[in-house]
Amino acid sequence: MKTLASSELPTQSALVGRLKKRGFCDALSFEISDQQRSPSQVYVDVFGHLPHIVETLMALRNRLVAPIGFAASAEKMTLRVEDLRQGQGIGLHQVELLSETEIICTSEDKHMQVSLSVVKLAPGQFTLSTLVNTRTWIGYAYLLAIIPFHKLIAAASIRAMLKRVNT
């Protein structure tokens, strides 16, 4: 496996079978040097340390879409592994599943449901997947508009994490 590669949703993910007609799913697989790292640690490594440009873009997104009913986080929060508990909320997301092989965090609003999954495929090998199901035509239009940006932001966020944890 290359350091970062586009991939499919892992067959062992609990997200399998959830994609609906007007939805979207993508996945990026990567390797890290720490063979003992858990999916929860990788989740925090990625989403707890987003590149500054990504944080800026997310803040802009939140200001633009919150008035029309999309979920938006009021402020940046510190994300720590010890705060991740199944059934608990962390910012916009709820920890839906937490195991030794996968973490799934989901946010929902009237327009869409967004699930983020980190699956541990083998020691040091992970796949981060995004699954979005839309509920309204506004949600679907928004999804179509942001897919290109999502792909760039997801890859940039994982690359930044890989630089930090693989040095």
Q: What is the pLDDT of residue 77?
A: 66
Question: What is the distance between the alpha carbons of residues 73 and 93, in angstroms, rounded to a whole number?
Answer: 9
Alpha helices per DSSP H over the chain:
39-47, 52-65, 137-165
pLDDT digits (tens, 9 = 90+) for 76-133: 667 788 888 887 777 678 899 999 999 999 999 999 999 999 999 999 999 999 999 9
The confidence score (pLDDT) of residue 76 equals 65
How far is it, in rounded angstroms, from Cα 112 to Cα 146?
13
Q: What is the pLDDT of residues 16-52, one digit of tens each?
A: 999 999 999 999 999 999 999 999 999 999 998 888 9
pLDDT recorded at residue 2? 56
Name the CATH topology of 4-12+21-165.
Answer: Alpha-D-Glucose-1,6-Bisphosphate; Chain A, domain 4 (3.30.530)
The predicted structure's pLDDT at residue 124:
96
Q: Where are the domains of the chain?
A: 4-12+21-165
**pLDDT for the residue 84:** 80
